[in-house]
Amino acid sequence: MYPCSHYRQKSLKESLEEIYNRLYDAFGPQGWWPAETPFEVIVGAILTQSVNWSNVEKAINNLKEYNQKLTGRAELNLELLEGLEEEKLAELIRPSGYYNMKARKLKAFCNFLRQEYKGSLRKMFRERLEVLRAKLLVVYGIGPETADSILLYAGGYPVFVIDAYTRRLFSRCGFVEEKVDYQELQQLVMENFLPQLERYNEYHALIVALGKNFCKKTNPDCQDCPLSI
């Protein structure tokens, strides 16, 4: 039994609100997602699969440095990724791990953006949430978590991102089973926590901070956890 299981004694709406406030008081605003442009957010969302963020930053910096040499602009954009051979792209993103597969995933997204929206993120993000989400989930390498990260952090849609940290926290609180279905947990949260873009953004980042520092997979630090009473 985890100390945070006491939240089960309240309504889910009350519990989710209290957890958010406690985490915000403990960690402060997270400023997530760290990126200069929406396109960079998308690249980061694909590269961060199965790897820590510091390695993603190295891969993104490699891409920016390469573009700096080519064009004089240290930025990530569609034209850069489209112009790279898949083998060269894989070499540049090597620090992110699974680089051959991720190069293919990046290429798949670029093809999707070009074919569906003529390469325009502005056009893509004019789509209704449910329509765009369904389209993204068909793209090779984009699952629910990656799709929702793109929608929330790059597109500004009020959708709650579910990840391993979220499942771990809310299962230890006793709200759900740890192996709960992605869609089921997402719906549960979105029905009980007001769908506000800024707070969805912050809540997800705060849960990640909690998971990394206290609510670890093994040997969690429950004694000093901000959610313990």
Domain that holds residue 209: 3-32+160-213
Query: Is 191 inside any structural domain?
Result: yes
Do the domain assignments include residue 220? Answer: no
The count of structural domains within the chain is 2
Alpha-carbon distance of 83 to 81, in angstroms, equals 5
Co-location of 180 and 112 in the same domain: no
Q: Angle at the Cα of 103 (from 33 to 92), degrees rounded to 5? A: 80
Q: Which residues contact 104 (CB under 8 A, 6 or more apart)?
A: 86, 140, 141
Q: Which band of pLDDT confidence, cut at 50, 70 and 90, is reported for residue 195?
A: confident
- Please state the rounded mean pLDDT for residues 104-113: 98
Grade residue 153 by pLDDT with cuts at 50, 70 and 90. very high
Q: Please give the average per-residue pLDDT across 59-82, as a whole number.
A: 97
pLDDT-derived band of residue 45, with 50, 70 and 90 as boundaries? Answer: very high
Confidence of residue 156 (pLDDT cuts 50, 70, 90): very high
Does residue 225 fall inside a structural domain? no
129 and 172 co-located in one domain? no
For residues 100 and 141, state if they share a domain: yes
Q: Which of 154, 173, 200 is the last residue of a domain?
A: 154
- Of 154, 174, 194, the one marking the end of a domain is 154
Is residue 229 scored above 90 in pLDDT? Answer: no
3-state secondary structure string across 107-156:
HHHHHHHHHHHCCCHHHHCCCCHHHHHHHHCCCCCCCHHHHHHHHHHHCC
Q: Residue 154 above 80 pLDDT?
A: yes
Q: Is 208 in the same domain as 164?
A: yes
